[in-house]
Structure 1
Amino acid sequence: MEKIKNMLLSNWLQHLVFWVLSFYAIGSYFSISNELKIIDFIYSAFFHIPLLVLCYINLRYHVPMFLLRERYTLYLLLSFINIGFAYFLHQLVFEILIPVLPTDFYMVSFTDMSVLITIFTIYWVLTTLLKLSKSWYRLQQIEKEKLSLELNSLKMQINPHFLFNSLNSMYSLALKKSDKTPDAILRLSNLMRYMIYEVSEDVPLSKEVESITDYLDLQKLRINEDAIITLETDGDLDSRMIAPLLFFPLIENSFKHGLKGEKDKNFVKINLTNNSTNLSFHIINNKGEVDDSEHGKYGGIGLENVKKRLQLIYGAMGEMEINETVEQFEVKINIDWK
């Protein structure tokens, strides 16, 4: 299937199909009878000499060197000259070249100047539009590849950070010789499997929430029991697909920078609501005094990561709001489905 697609997109095949159709169309248009005869094809072949020159000058030089570089006035001027040259070449072929050829066929250019100019203009417009559409398609492919590479790069920023934090949790439990260590390793294994194998494309919202729950349970194993860690969800979590790992950097930041106040005042609260029109994600945590000295700006790379992915994937449909006070840090994300 891929070979067929590549063949259909190849330049030589596209050009061949175009000129075969053109050859038949010109022969039919100027045919003097209801049936195409040899003389019609010969006439069409000679008629295509100026058409070929006109089209390939436009395709190879004028469009890429002037039109695509937004030099519109010069492009139009050169195009008029190109059409005029095609008309001159047409007259040269039929008035000078053909009469000296040793052939039994007698052919003359019996087409009015206005008709010829119209035909040449049509071919000029066609080749310009085809070139522009191909350039646009190529640009879309490049942008798509660039977007994919950028998104993958942002995901790769998440995985090492997440693994580092989780291994710290494992280390903390191992030092305490906690019976919870096997369960923590199992949860980490499930999360890493999700992050490595299941995030190549959008995932069900329910799957993302399930992974967030595993992550929160994993973090609870190492933090003070007095800390309040909550995840509340509302709405249908199975009906929507979402970009994977979108909220994880925010959650990681909450555990990294928060939970450093008095033991009975530490909290990370998450609320996720989904309905038919939009998705709302809200996370809030208390702050510790050492946060600002750690990263100059609270949140660090995590916030920038989420902002970038939100913009790349959802554009104007995704919004992010940050509210910060001396005591707490809050982030709200809203994604419009319509």
Structure 2
Amino acid sequence: MKSKGISLFISNRILQHLAFWVLSIYIIGSYFSISNELKTIDFIYSLFFHIPLLLLVYVNLRYHIPKFLLKQRYIIYLLLSIFNLATAFFLHQVLFDVIIPILPTDFYMVSFTDASVLIAIFIIYLVLTTLLKLSKSWYELQQLEKERLSLELNSLKMQINPHFLFNSLNSMYSLARKKSDKAPDAILRLSNLMRYMIYEVSEEVPISKEIDAIQDYLDLQKLRLEEDANITFTVEGATEHQMIAPLLFFPIIENSFKHGLKGDKGTNFVRIMIKNTNSELTFHVTNNKGTTDHSEEGKYGGIGLANVKKRLQLIYGDSAHMEVNDAKDSFDVSIKIKWND
């Protein structure tokens, strides 16, 4: 029940604002109280004191921040903030010097706050609420990015290249027709790969599972390739317990098979290496290019590599680095991910 109330408070913007202002009224009333005990007049004074504060804060939150600060129009935002502060100060003076004295009330209230103290309070509220707004915007942005990453991962799960599946099934059919002993193993590897991609991946997976999936993918690719194609996959270091974002390297590996392996007989290769240490993980793929069709010229980077780079930035930030080397006869991609202590 307690956690449900906390969740309601976190998700309800009105409750958050109400709680902030109730606390603020109490603090201001206590700060300006003329005695050690809070009295009704202290709260009434605090309520009037908050009228220009409310104007100051909500003009800033509703208009100045979204229309100027978040759009990086900093000079205009600064000038408007100064004007906003001046307006709040003027309203405070009018309230306590003009309006309150003519109100039919038994209480006598005057503003005994020095101008410098009053401006300082207004600036504190302006800066504090701006920081709260920016932090909330940042949090909401992170949540959106997290949801986008989740959608992207679900998309990757279903993104097994149709040509790859078609070629794999054709190769299996050919093996079955020949009654080859390799057919059951090929079917098992395809089943394992699809199970992993569709059901087993989550936000993070052990590197060892990702390696097993890569190995299944490579073995299936070999079924359709010439025997002289040189495909190697080496793994160094312990990978059982370290976790990684799933399907991170698959677009790069798929890219190497899609655009590579097009040279003369005996020159085709794809070399993949994963090295893991206590401080970082290194992933490297290189493939020959050979003859490129006109329709593929300039596409070695591809959307897949751009997506991988963006995922790296979103998930690992500055801890990850991706380097692409598009040479005349080969294409190399290297990724380094530093593990946080």
TM range, smaller chain:
0.7 to 0.9
Which position in structure 2 is the counterpart of 1:132?
A: 134
Identity of aligned residues (%): 61
Q: Distance in 2 between matches of 1:152 and 1:32?
A: 62
Task: Out of 55-64 and 314-323, give the one that drifted further.
Answer: 314-323
Which position in structure 2 is the counterpart of 1:185?
A: 187
Q: 1:3 to 1:309 in 2, by over 3 A?
A: farther
Q: Distance in 1 between matches of 2:298 and 2:85?
A: 63
Q: Distance in 1 between matches of 2:270 and 2:70?
A: 53
Q: Tell me which amino acid in the other structure corresponds to 2:293.
A: S
Which position in structure 1 is the counterpart of 2:26?
A: 24
The answer as to 2:169 corresponding to 1:167 is yes
Q: Distance in 2 between matches of 1:73 and 1:227?
A: 61
Which position in structure 1 is the counterpart of 2:53?
A: 51
Deviation at 1:83, TM superposition (A): 2.3
Q: 1:277 to 1:168 in 2, by over 3 A?
A: farther
Equivalent of 1:194 in 196, 221, 226: 196
Deviation at 1:115, TM superposition (A): 2.4
Q: Distance in 2 between matches of 1:279 and 1:186?
A: 29
Which position in structure 2 is the counterpart of 1:309?
A: 308
Q: 1:312 to 1:284 in 2, by over 3 A?
A: closer
- Counterpart mapping for 1:46-125 below 5 A: 46-125=48-127
Q: 1:147 to 1:85 in 2, by over 3 A?
A: same
Q: 1:313 to 1:73 in 2, by over 3 A?
A: closer
Instruction: Normalising by structure 1, report the TM-score.
Output: 0.81
Q: Distance in 1 between matches of 2:149 and 2:162?
A: 21
Deviation at 1:217, TM superposition (A): 3.4
Instruction: Normalising by structure 2, report the TM-score.
Output: 0.81
Q: Tell me which amino acid in the other structure corresponds to 1:35.
A: E
Q: Distance in 1 between matches of 2:167 and 2:187?
A: 13
**Contact 1:151–1:309 at 8 Å: present in 2 too?**
no
**Contact 1:258–1:287 at 8 Å: present in 2 too?**
yes
Deviation at 1:59, TM superposition (A): 1.9
The alignment yields a C-alpha RMSD, in angstroms, of 3.3
Q: 1:73 to 1:239 in 2, by over 3 A?
A: same
Which position in structure 1 is the counterpart of 2:332?
A: 331
**Contact 1:172–1:222 at 8 Å: present in 2 too?**
no
Q: 1:256-299: per-residue Cα shift (whole Å, max 9, x none)?
A: 6528754x7765544332223333344455666xx523853498
Q: Distance in 1 between matches of 2:67 and 2:268?
A: 63
Q: 1:127 to 1:181 in 2, by over 3 A?
A: same
**Contact 1:202–1:242 at 8 Å: present in 2 too?**
yes
The answer as to 2:217 corresponding to 1:215 is yes
Q: Distance in 1 between matches of 2:261 and 2:40?
A: 86
Say which SS state the counterpart of residue 292 (structure 1) adopts: coil
Q: 1:253 to 1:38 in 2, by over 3 A?
A: closer
**Contact 1:282–1:330 at 8 Å: present in 2 too?**
no
Which position in structure 1 is the counterpart of 2:243?
A: 241
Say which SS state the counterpart of residue 280 (structure 1) adopts: strand
**Contact 2:168–2:224 at 8 Å: present in 1 too?**
no
Q: Tell me which amino acid in the other structure corresponds to 2:322.
A: E
Deviation at 1:237, TM superposition (A): 1.6
Structure ID, larger Rg: 1
Q: Tell me which amino acid in the other structure corresponds to 1:292.
A: T
Q: Distance in 1 between matches of 2:263 and 2:179?
A: 24
- Structure 1 residue runs of 5 or longer lacking an equivalent are none
Q: Tell me which amino acid in the other structure corresponds to 2:332.
A: V
Deviation at 1:102, TM superposition (A): 2.8
Deviation at 1:309, TM superposition (A): 0.6
Q: 1:121 to 1:211 in 2, by over 3 A?
A: closer
Deviation at 1:18, TM superposition (A): 1.1
Q: 1:70 to 1:296 in 2, by over 3 A?
A: closer
